[in-house]
Homo-oligomer: A and B are copies of this chain.
Amino acid sequence: MKSLSTKQQAILEFLRQFIRDKDYPPSIRDIQLGCKISSTSVVDYNLKALERLGHIRRDREVSRAIELLDGTGRRPSTIPVPIIGTIAAGEPIPVPSADTWSNIDYDNVVEVTEEMTGGKAQVYALRVKGDSMIDALVNDGDIVILEATHSAADGEMVAAWLKDTGEVTLKRFYMDGDRVRLQPANATMKPIFTDPENLEIQGRVLTTIGNRG
């Protein structure tokens, strides 16, 4: 495959930047100015080359109809995930209601990419309080992103409420015969075995975010 000239690379980079910035593609003359190209025909010439090489797609005769084909064009949309409370060992975690997502408190959200939520709905976040979740590799102040659910498949990390001890914990869920094994993310720590009846799954952990600033 033919390699791109510096001018073509500059145009591609400018396209990415412009779209990321303004959410709509530039016109030919925007590119001309942005890349310091002397003529619109040169821009057109190079755009045609880029189109032939498969880097962009253009709708003829339509202004600003340039589409990037290498996946970098669309600014990845972020999703506001409401932080509805804290999670700590000794207290039950807050339960999200339908209202949680229809009426988001924008002062208490964490914006994440769809990549982090896996495209799931009913996603909420909790702030970790205290050091008790260290076996799940989350620290005081970290944020845990959860999907609201009451069931889990083997190997998924869940927020679970243990009725007997009155504690909430973040562990990986496994069925072991008729018992449940809760495995800490930290492999050096021991799992918990318990009866399914003793367990109340309150959410599935999608992502953890630790701010170490």
Residues of A within 8 A of B (CB): 20, 22-25, 27, 59, 63-68, 70-78, 80, 106, 110-113, 115-116, 118, 131, 134, 137-139, 142, 156-157, 185-188, 205-213
Contact = CB atoms under 8 A, between A and B. Distances in A.
Contact of A75 (B27, B77, B110): B77
Contacts of A116: 209, 211
Contacts of A137: 134, 137-139, 142, 210
Nearest to A210: B208
14 contacts: A20-B77, A22-B65, A23-B68, A23-B73, A63-B63, A75-B111, A76-B78, A78-B78, A118-B213, A134-B187, A137-B137, A139-B185, A207-B209, A208-B210
A186 B184 CA distance: 14
Contacts of A188: 131, 134
Residue in A64, A188, A209, A210 with the greatest tally of chain B CB atoms within 10 Å? A210
Contacts of A206: 211-213
A117 to B, nearest CB: 10
Contact of A185 (B24, B72, B212): B212
A83 to B, nearest CB: 13
Residue in A23, A66, A156, A185 with the greatest tally of chain B CB atoms within 10 Å? A23
Given A66-B24, A67-B23, A106-B72, A113 B78 contact: yes
Nearest to A112: B113
Contacts of A205: 212
B208 A209 contact: yes
A131 B188 CA distance: 9
